[in-house]
Amino acid sequence: MTVQAKATPGARLLTPTDHTLIMIDFQSQMAFATKSIDASLLRTNAALVAGAAAGFGASTILTTVAEKSFSGPMFPEVTAPFPGKTLLDRTSMNSWEDEAVIAEVNAIGKSRIVLAGLWTSVCIVGPALSALEQGFEVFVITDACGDVSDEAHERAVTRMVQAGAQPITALQYLLEMQRDWARGETYDLTTGLAKTFGGAYGLGIIYAKSMFGASEGH
């Protein structure tokens, strides 16, 4: 049988409108014990994810655990792209057991859930496995997560993947929503975030534009 290729995107790719991003417990107390990723890189990747979601208009939930009494405020680079947005504070380690979070998930009504936060083996595994069991499709931005050790992070990612979650990265999340450099309405947003938070790739964009006036859309 001959298979015909078509110039259309696969249905498994993320789009800005087909998912809910849940950013979980990007808080000081959680970060202090995070060893699987450098704190500065974690903050950079979290900022990239938050900026991408806000810029593309993706449905987003920001949730904290014991913000006032123990864990401290959410990273400012996560909240800054969402001025005035209410943070859903919880007592449960598994945000999928919190009624306010679930009410927001249901109000948004998307069947795809994208997760990022601290720690991978607790506050990300909990909602990932719970959402999968209830029929949601789950993506985990693994480099915008962290844990108390490399072992804890890697075992958590393996456990989620074995259960059906799909691992992606922060930069992948941004570029998957852009997907075509000819999409002029979000071109400056995407390249701007990449230049600021995209590491060596961002430096490459700065160099190409400064030296040659280059543009990916041409």
Annotated active-site positions, please?
A: 123
Q: At residue 62, what is the residue type?
A: L
**HEC readout, 165-210:** CEEECHHHHHHHHHCCCCCHHHHHHHHHHHHHHCHHHHHHHHHHHH
* Cβ-based neighbours of 66, under 8 Å, separated by 6 or more: 89, 90, 91
Residues in the chain: 218
What's the rounded Cα separation, in Å, for the pair 194 and 44?
11
What's the rounded Cα separation, in Å, for the pair 115 and 124?
7
CA distances from 34 to 95, 114, 122, 153 (A): 19, 21, 12, 10
Q: What is the DSSP letter of 89?
A: E
